[in-house]
Structure 1
Amino acid sequence: MDLNWSSLGEVAVVSIGATVGVVIVFSLGVRALATTDRGEEDRGDGAPGGVEPPAGGSTAYGGRRAGVGRPGAPAVAVAGLCFLACAAAVLYGLYLIVPQFH
């Protein structure tokens, strides 16, 4: 049995690179959805601008947790593009694997 080791190594490198790329793009999409558009300036200590954190280290401000809200439209658009790119990569991989699609 004769193995072409350079081709095997090339396939391994490309598959690992593609996997890492899809994971990174998917993570960017999740991160984009995790951002919130609070409309207030963040002071960097977890409290929205102008609001003093309550005593005891609680993260609640007026009955609401800091950072909880809906993501803005640009963040949703970026997340959608990231997820679309991931879906396209997965579908292309399936296209390459399944011989009936050729």
Structure 2
Amino acid sequence: MAICFELVVNFGDNIDAARSALLTRAVPKPTTLTAGDRRIPLHTPLLRTEGPYIELSVVPVAVGHGVALDGALPRFPLTATEFTELGNQLYQLLATFDGYIAARVG
């Protein structure tokens, strides 16, 4: 079983807004987020268009447990405070997106 800490954004049927957000992340700004004294990179965002709505996922590298995108990378052992810091930065990233219906970090 995988436990993935990520930003998930629901764009409804607004493919243009989802693509715009994806392109914003295609050239990552910033390329890393911080948690405590660690710099944590982001995976290339994932866009899912199958199903009832369009979804974009932004996943920090080596933060979850058993996440396929991480391969064999060792995990960053984060504290609750560091997870909060990382989550707040993912919400700041969300603030740069337009046209979404709902989003969550966790």
TM-score bracket for the superposition, by shorter chain length: under 0.3
After TM superposition, the score normalised by the length of structure 2 is 0.27
After TM superposition, the score normalised by the length of structure 1 is 0.28
Max Rg structure: 1
Larger helix percent: 1
